[in-house]
Amino acid sequence: MKKEKTILLTGAAGFIGSYLLGYLNKKGFTNIIIADDFSEEDKWFNFDSKKFVAKVEREELFSWLSQTNRAVDFVFHLGARTDTAEFDYAVHERLNLEYSKKIWNYCTDKSIPLVYASSAATYGGGEFGYKDDHEIVEKLQPLNPYGVSKNEFDKWALHQAHDSRLTTQDSIPPYWAGLKFFNVYGPNEYHKGRMASVIFHAFNQVKATGKVKLFKSHKPEFKDGQQLRDFIYVEDVAAVCFWLMENQVPSGLYNLGTGTARTFEDLVKATFSGMGRSPVIEYIDMPEDIRDKYQYFTEADMSKLQNAGYKESFYSLEDGIADYVKNYLLKKAYY
């Protein structure tokens, strides 16, 4: 009988991490060590009904691993400070850069494959496009400290992988992938407040007022509501993470979006549709302090992951939102 993998999953109390935990459970994996800051009570429902073998506080993880000497077969590092409105870089540096280096070094020392969360925020204003090409990473100019911290770790990881002065076995995990998540939405984001997806906020606005407010465009080439993002359902994110564990592809950075940009107007109309209502949209001025940091267009180039062998189709925006609204938001259910 094949031995079940022991998986370490950081960020397990959060949105994407808790969803991946449930996804792994559904795939038959329960020998999972979960790590996070478990002090926030509003995150408990994300993970308390799921199966795992150990729950470890984020700050105690490395001492716990050392003391228990628990053998780990695979690491998903999804833990991070994801607040793009947190402008104290020191916070992001500690949690997103330095902590990630510790995870990387642990995987290197123990020869454990690693999949970690990067972000499309690394692309900044999109001056260099949205292709997961290692050659552009050094040039990227993220628009906020969160994006900077994510890009700094990507740069550091690539340096470890490509520095000829470092021997391969001493500098990198046996296999690694950094996933540049685009705009992820779906169940288990109730705790995220202002950082929750636009779908979540649109749903709550409709419930409260019967309408949704969207930012006006402040660029003449975009009409109001026609700003574009690559929105990806969290089910697809979990599916790709799982596939990367089961099918180890060439190490490196990979985009994780759908490859199709959609407008905020499309998103809001799909949310109204999922609620069985006709759309009512009001356009408001974008605050001046974020206008120069606002992305008007993002779209993942997905060719690298597809060329590596991932052939599954992604949820359309309409299908993903319909599932999210009808099966989770309307019922206030968790995955």
Per the DSSP assignment, residues forming a β-bridge with 34 are: 9, 55
Q: Two tokens at 104? A: 């990387």
Which whole-number Å values give the CA distances from 246 to 11, 34, 138, 241, 243, in the listed order? 21, 19, 30, 9, 5
* Placement of tokens 């992988």 in the chain: 161
Is residue 207 flagged as an active site residue? Answer: no
Contact 232, 196 (CB under 8 A): no
- What length does the chain have? 335
273: number of CA atoms within 13 Å, CB side? 13
List, in order, residues 6 or more apart from 304 with CB less than 8 Å away: 132, 252, 254, 255
Query: Which one from 99, 116, 130, 146 is the annotated catalytic residue?
Result: 146
284: left (phi over 0), alpha (psi -120 to 50) or beta: beta
Q: In whole angstroms, how large is the CA radius of gyration of the chain?
A: 20
CA 208 to chain centre: 28
Is residue 99 flagged as an active site residue? Answer: no
Q: Could you tell me the end-to-end alpha-carbon distance of the chain, in angstroms, rounded to an integer?
A: 30
SS3 177: strand
Query: Which one from 101, 131, 155, 192 is the annotated catalytic residue?
Result: 192
Q: What is the number of helices (H) and of strands (E) in the chain?
A: 13, 13
Beta 228-229 vs 262-263: how paired, if at all?
antiparallel
Quote the CA–CA distance of 161 and 186 in Å, as a whole number: 33
SS3 223: coil
Active site members:
146, 192
